[in-house]
Amino acid sequence: MYRPQDDTWLVAEALAEAGVPAGASVLDACTGTGALGVVAGLAGAGEVTAVDISRRAVAAARVNGWVSGTRVRALRADFGALVGWRRFDVVLSNPPYVPSAHDTPRGRARAWDAGRDGRSVLDRLCATLPFLLTEQGMALIVHSELCDEELTLRQLRDGGLKAAVVARRTVPYGRVLRGRAKWLRDNGYTTAGPDVEELVVIRADVA
């Protein structure tokens, strides 16, 4: 399970700036602790659905919703399983996006590792979003510069969505990236220098 860090709060700030339509239906995809779902609920969402493949994450989202006084419907599921079930006015996601030497993460690493290019979840999310959003729907997705923001923008636009970067922030490497800083440099993800990354929040709207 992934504890909220800079990337989570950057999405929360972008959501505060965009605003949550009163009574909106919200999906928190790859919810982790449920932090973004709780933020959306406190901002006026009518209903919040949070999904994650981790049992612990689902339990945490339920508990954190209850503690905050926000009703969060937490489900153990992949966001792709929701296609055809329903659509949402707002989709929020802080998906796993850390490049990894392992194509198939296991255990706790499922919360952050996302294959060699860090896009094993991002690519699926971009392809799925058009089928999860309502006619006036909006999505906010965060990831690292290491994962190619331009590719994310192209994939969303190819899916018929309007897409743009709405927030950026440069932050020091967290624990996971610090542990593989040499691997990232050796494999060309970053150059020698300060161990910092730029986070980006991308907004997608139904065109």
∠ at Cα 41 (47, 81), nearest 5°?
A: 50
Q: Mean pLDDT throughout 62-83?
A: 95
Measure the CA–CA gap between 182 and 176, rounded to whole angstroms: 12
In this predicted structure, what is the pLDDT of residue 175?
Answer: 85
Q: Which domains does the chain have, with CATH numbers?
A: 6-206 (3.40.50.150)
Measure the CA–CA gap between 68 and 193, rounded to whole angstroms: 41
Least confident of 36-40, 78-82, 157-161, 180-184: 180-184
Enter the pTM of the model: 0.93
Fill in the DSSP letter of residue 103.
S
List the structure tokens of 182. Answer: 């040499």
Amino acid identity for residue 29 in this structure: A
pLDDT in tens, 89-142: 999 999 999 888 877 767 777 888 888 899 999 999 999 999 999 999 999 999
